[in-house]
Chain A
Amino acid sequence: MKKSPQEQKLERLLRSSKFSACGFLGTDKRNLWEIIDADAAEIAKAGKTMEEVAARLQEITDIGKAGLGDWVAAGHGLQVSVDDNRGMVPCPWPHRARCLKRITTVKHFRTNTEIRWSDLNIHLIKEHGFFEGRGASFRIEPLVLLSVIFPEE
C-alpha cells in the first residue's frame, strides 16, 4: 500500500528523536500502519475497544495522582505510582494535543507484572490506536497491558 506524503512525514517523525530520545517506533521494522493494525487486532480479539483501554489507563492514573509519587492501591491487587516531570510533550500527529510529562507505573502483585505508561501513551491509544513500536521506551504490549489493567477478566 502506498503511503501519502502526510503519512510518510508522520512516520519519519515517529522514527526520529524529535520528541523523545529513542523515537516512537524503536527498532520495529514494521511500518506504522502494520504496527497499529496488529495491535488493534489484539485489542479487538480481547473484546475491548481503544476507548475502553484508554479510559481504564486514565482511571488508574487518576487514582495514582493523589499519591504524589507514592504507591497507592488501585484495587484488584494493583499498586500505582504516578510521577510527574516538568514540561509538556506534544503529540507527533499533526494536531495540537500536548500532554504532561507524567508517568504511571503499575504493579500487579499476584502476577508480579510491572508496566508503565505516560499521559501521551493514553492519548496515542485513545486517539490514534498507537501503542508505539517494539523497542521504543514506552512501547506497551497490548495483551500484557490488558492482563494488568483488567486483571479480573
Chain B
Amino acid sequence: MGMSMAPLIVPIAIVSAIGAALAASLVFAERVITNYGDVVLDINNGDKKITIRGGGSLLETLTTQKIFIPSACGGRGTCGYCKVRVLEGAGQLLPTEEPYMDDKERALGIRLSCQVKLRNDLKIEIPTELLTIKEYRCTCDEIIDCTYDIKQFKLKFLDGQQINYTPGQYVQVLAPLYEKSNEEVYRAYSISSDPEDKSAIELIVRRVPDGICTTYLFDYLKQGDSVKINGPYGQFYLRDTSAPIIFIAGGSGIAPIKCIVHHMKNTGNTRKSIFFFGVRTTADLFLDKEMTQFAADLPHFRFVPVVSQPESETDWKGTTGRVTDVAEAYLNEQKDASDYEGYLCGSPGMIESSISVLTRFNIPEDRIYYDKFS
C-alpha cells in the first residue's frame, strides 16, 4: 500500500506547492499591485477634504469618517439608497448601478456609493444635512407589544449623547451578526417619540416575515442590550405653513405622525388637522388612547381610527371602511380641499392609493409628503 501511494505523493506535493505559490502571489498582488496609496476625498467643493488609504468603497470610507449615507443593504448594491453625486474620479457607471439610475441621475453623475471604489482622488457632493448624521450607541430600555405583530422599542442613548432631529425623520438601526444572520444590515425606522426627550427615542416596528432586522428586533433583542443606530434621515416633516393637514397612515406608519403630533402639541400648533389611521381589524389597533389624548389637547386636531374588516365578534362602533375611502369621503365634504397638505406613511400600496385620492381633490403632488423607503 505504502509503495503504491508513493508515486501519487510527488504530484500532489507539486500541485500543493503551485497552489501555495499562487495564493502567495495573490496576497502580494493585493498588497502591492492594488495598493492605491493615499487618495484625497473632496466633499462639497472643498468643504471637507479627507486623505485616506485608497481601495475601499466610497460608502465604507465615508462611514469610517463618520459620514453616514443611508443604506439598507449593508453595501451589497441591492437597495439603491446610498446615492451620492460624484463630480470627478469615479470612472464609468457600473452595470450593478444601472438599474437604480434614471436619465437625470446619470446626467448629474449620481452613483451608488457602495459600488464606487476609491482608486484615485475623488470629488463628491452630498447633501449638507447628511454631514450632520451621527452614529449613536444606545441601550434597549423598553420593549412594548403594541399588537400581535408590532412592537415599540425605546432606545436610550449612552455616553450622554443626545439626538437632534426634525419630528417625522427616521434612523437606521444596525442588526448585528446573530444566529440567523451572518452579516450586519441596517434598516430604517421612523422615530415615534416625543421630540422633547433628547435622551431616548422610540421606534414602532412591524415584523416582516423572515426579515433580517425585524427577526433580530423581535426575537433576539432584549431589554438592556446595546443597539447601534445612525441618523437622523428623511424629508418627512411638518412644513411650516398654515395649511390644513390630512395625515393618512396604516399600521406602523403611525410612528412618524405620532412624533409630529407630539411636536404640534409641544409647540401649541393650532393648524386644522385630521389623522386617518387605517388598520384591518380591531386587533391591529394601538396607540388609540394616546392619539385620543392628543385630540383632547389639540383643539383643531381630530383622530379617526378606521377599521376595514372588523372581526364579527367585536362591537366596533368606530369608522369602518378602507382608510383611503374614508379620507376621500372627508375631503369630499370640504368646500375646497385643494389647500390641504397631505402627510402619508404606510405600505407602498397605501401611499400610492392615498396620493391618487389627494390629487383627485387638486392637492398638488408637491404638497403631499411621504418617505420613499422603496
CB of B348 within 8 A of chain A? yes
**Contacts A17-B180, A21-B181, A69-B250; is A88 near B78 (CB within 8 Å)?**
yes
Q: Which of chain B's residues have a CB closer than 8 A to the CB of A98?
A: 78, 99
CB of A103 within 8 A of chain B? yes
Q: Majority SS of interface residues in chain B?
A: loop
Does B79 lie within 8 Å of A87, measured CB to CB? yes
**Contacts A22-B180, A98-B78; is A70 near B349 (CB within 8 Å)?**
no
CB of B322 within 8 A of chain A? yes
CA distance A60 to B322 in the complex (A): 20
Least CB separation from A24: chain B residue:
B210
Does B309 lie within 8 Å of A70, measured CB to CB? yes
CA distance A128 to B215 in the complex (A): 27
The number of residues on chain B lying at the interface, defined by a beta carbon within 8 Å of a beta carbon of chain A, is 35
Does A20 lie within 8 Å of B349, measured CB to CB? no
How far is the CB of B72 from the nearest CB of chain A, in Å?
6
Q: Which of A27-35, A42-50, A77-85 contacts B (4 or more CB under 8 A)?
A: A77-85
A65, A86, A101, A103 pick with most chain B CB within 10 angstroms:
A86
Of the candidates A18, A69, A87, the one whose C-beta lies within 8 Å of that of B280 is A69
**Contacts A70-B322, A85-B208, A87-B79; is A100 near B348 (CB within 8 Å)?**
yes
**Contacts A68-B350, A84-B348; is A21 near B211 (CB within 8 Å)?**
yes
**Contacts A65-B349, A88-B374; is A21 near B183 (CB within 8 Å)?**
no
How far is the CB of B145 from the nearest CB of chain A, in Å?
19
Question: Which B residues, 324 to 353, have Cβ-Cβ distances below 8 Å to chain A?
Answer: 324, 347-350, 353
CB of A58 within 8 A of chain B? no
**Contacts A84-B348, A87-B374; is A20 near B210 (CB within 8 Å)?**
yes
Q: Which of chain A's residues have a CB closer than 8 A to the CB of B254?
A: none
CA distance A16 to B309 in the complex (A): 38
How far is the CB of B71 from the nearest CB of chain A, in Å?
12
Q: Which of chain A's residues have a CB closer than 8 A to the CB of B353?
A: 68
Contact flags B166-199 to A (C-beta < 8 A → 1, else 0): 0000000000000011110001100000000000
Q: Which of chain B's residues have a CB closer than 8 A to the CB of A69?
A: 250, 280, 308, 347, 349-350
Q: Which of chain A's residues have a CB closer than 8 A to the CB of B28?
A: none
CA distance A24 to B319 in the complex (A): 41
Contact flags A114-143 to B (C-beta < 8 A → 1, else 0): 000000000000000000000001100000
How far is the CB of A60 from the nearest CB of chain B, in Å?
16
Does A68 lie within 8 Å of B324, measured CB to CB? yes
Of the candidates B208, B215, B280, the one whose C-beta lies within 8 Å of that of A101 is B208
Least CB separation from B250: chain A residue:
A69
CA distance A64 to B353 in the complex (A): 14
Interface residues of A (CB under 8 A from B): 16-18, 20-22, 65, 68-71, 81-90, 96, 98, 100-101, 103, 137-138
Interface residues of B (CB under 8 A from A): 72, 76, 78-80, 96, 99, 180-183, 187-188, 206, 208-212, 215-216, 250, 280, 308-309, 322-324, 347-350, 353, 373-374
- Please list 13 pairs of residues, one from A and one from B, whose beta carbons are closer than 8 Å in the complex, sorted by A's number: A17-B180, A20-B211, A21-B216, A22-B180, A65-B349, A68-B308, A69-B280, A69-B350, A70-B309, A70-B322, A86-B374, A88-B78, A88-B80
